[in-house]
Chain A
Amino acid sequence: MNLPIYLDNNATTPMDPRVLDAMVPYFTQKFGNAASRNHAFGWAAEEGIDYAREQVAKLIGANEKEIIFTSGATEADNLAIKGVFEMYKEKGNHIITCVTEHKAVLDTCKHLEKAGASVTYLPVKEDGLIDLQELENAITDKTILVSIMYGNNEIGVIQPIKEIAAIAHKHGALFFTDATQAVGKIPVDVIADGIDLLAFSGHKMYGPKGVGALYVRRKNPRVKVTAQMDGGGHERGMRSGTLNVPGIVGFGKACELCRLEMAEESKRLSALRDKLEASLTTLEESYVNGNREFRLPHVANISFKYVEGEGLMMAMKDMAVSSGSACTSASLEPSYVLKSLGLSDDLAHSSIRFGLGRFTTEEEVDFAIEQTKKAVNHLRDLSPLWEMFKEGIDLDKVEWVEH
C-alpha cells in the first residue's frame, strides 16, 4: 500500500491506464484536426472522435448525434442553462433549480438573473432530496427549464430524476441535469429517465481532465441551445472550437470502461463504503450526512462532532479526503450543501467526505478507518467543546465570544 492514499474521488479520479493507452497515439501520430476533411490526418482524428462519440452516447443511452463535446461539466452546465434561456426566452424566463447544486449551475443561474431570468432555488429536505410537490408548486407558465443535479458531489444523494423529469414535462418545461457525479457510477439512461439535457465530465470517471459533454435531446422534443462560443461552428454549431481529440478519445474509452465494469464496481465500492461508515459511526457523536438509501455507491460524508474538519484532516495526513469546513476553502462559510440540510454550522465544520474509487482497496479502507479514528480521538483530547460536552454542558446555552 502506497501512502498517502487517495479518498477524494469526487474531486477528481486518477486516469485509468487503459484510457491513457487509448489516448497516446492521438498526440503524436494521429494528431490531425478532426475538422480537416481533405486529408488522411484529419480523417484519422475524425475516426477517433466518431468512435468516442459512440462510446460516450452508449453509456447514457443516447444517440451519438446528441453528444456535444465541451471542456468539461462546468462548460456543459453553462451551455445548457444559458443556451436554453436564450433559445426559449420567447416562451418564458423562469428557471427552477435547487440550493445544493454545484456552483457551475448556481452561478450560471445568478448570472442569468442579471439578464432578466427569474430563478427559483428549491430547498432540500434534511436528507438532501427535493420535495416533488414543492417543485410542482414552483412551476409557472413562464417556466422553461428545470435544472436538478443527478447525484450530489458532497453527500452523494441521488435525486428522484425520473419523477422530476415527468413533472417538468407535464408543464411543458425542459429538464436538465448535471450528472457529473452519477454518470459512470450508476446506470443513467436519458430515455428511461426522461432527460432533455445532461452534463458530465471525463475526469470524474477515470478519464482525462479538460473534456466533458452535454447531451442535447434530438427527438421528442428536439431541444436546441444557443451557442455560447462563436467560431467555426463545430459540434453542430453548438460549441465552436477545435476538438480536443486525445481528450475526447480518452473520455470515450473511460465511458466504455464504466459501462462494462459499473455493475461490479459499484457493488464492491458500496460494500467498502458501508464498512467505512459502520466502523466510523461507532465513534461517539458521529453522524452520516444525507439520505442513506438514495445515494451514490462510493461517497460517505460524516460529521464528527466537536472536532473541526481541517484540523482533523491534518491529523489524517496519510490520506487525501475533503472537508465541509470553511477553513479548507477561500470562503469563510462552511459548506452550503451541508447547511442546506439544516446542519448547524459546527456540524458542517466537523464533516469529512470520503470518496472511494476504482483503485481503492480494502486494505486502504481499513487503514483509513484506523487513521480516522485515531485522528478524531486525538482532536477530541484537544477540544474544549468535547470536554464541555462530556461534563454535560449544553453548548447551545454557552455565550460565545464570536470572533
Chain B
Amino acid sequence: MAYSDKVIDHYTNPRNVGTLDKSSTKVGTGLVGAPECGDVMRLQIEVNEENVITDAKFKTFGCGSAIASSSLATEWLKGKSIDEAMSIDNMDIVEELALPPVKIHCSVLAEDAIKAAINDYRIKNGLEPIVSEKAHH
C-alpha cells in the first residue's frame, strides 16, 4: 500500500510536535488510543479568553497515517474557535490525506483526540463536557 504525498509530507515533516503545560488551565489535553492497539495520540490545545485556540501540539505512537492525521489536526486547530474545532469531522481528515479504508481509524482517533482535548479544557474551566452525537466505538 503506497502512502499519499500528503501523508508522507506530514510524516516526514510533522507540524507542531511537542508538549504544552498540561497543568495550565488554558491547556486542554486529549490522550486517546492504547499501546496494545498500536495507536496512542496525545493532542493538546491552548485556548485564549476569546475561546480561540492559539496553539496546538501533538505526539503520536502509531503508523504513518496516525502521525499524519494528528499533525494535520494540530494545523487545522490553530486559530479556530472551540465551536469550530468541535465540528472537525474525521472524514475531512480522510479526504485531505487520501487515507485508504484500512486507515480510516487513524482519522477517527484524531477526531476523538480533538474532542478529548476540548473537553479536558472545558472541565478544567468548570464547563460541562460536550458529548459527541457521533458514536465511533
Contact = CB atoms under 8 A, between A and B. Distances in A.
- Does B associate with A? yes
Interface of A: 306-311, 314-315, 325-327, 330, 334, 344-346, 349, 381-387, 395, 400-403
Contacts of B94: none
Nearest to A305: B35
A308 B59 contact: no
Contacts of B63: 308, 310-311, 314, 325, 327
A384 B59 contact: yes
A327 B64 CA distance: 10
A314 B64 contact: yes
Interface of B: 3, 8, 11, 14, 17, 19, 31-42, 59-64, 66-67, 102, 105, 108-109, 112, 116, 137
Question: How would you classify the secondary structure of chain A's contact residues: helix, strand, loop or mixed?
Answer: helix
Contacts of A308: 38-39, 61-63, 66
A389 to B, nearest CB: 11
A93 to B, nearest CB: 37
Given A384-B59, A385-B61, 4 more contacts: A326-B38, A330-B102, A382-B61, A383-B61
Contact of A382 (B14, B31, B37, B39): B14
Which 6 pairs of residues, A with B, have the shortest CB-CB distance? A400-B34, A346-B35, A345-B36, A384-B42, A310-B63, A384-B59
Question: How would you classify the secondary structure of chain B's contact residues: helix, strand, loop or mixed?
Answer: mixed
Contacts of B61: 306-308, 311, 382-386
A238 B83 CA distance: 70
Contacts of B102: 330
B35 A349 contact: yes
Contacts of B33: 400-403
Contacts of A387: 19, 59
Contacts of A384: 31, 40-42, 59-61
A383 B105 contact: no
10 contacts: A308-B66, A310-B38, A345-B37, A349-B36, A382-B17, A384-B59, A400-B33, A400-B34, A400-B40, A402-B36
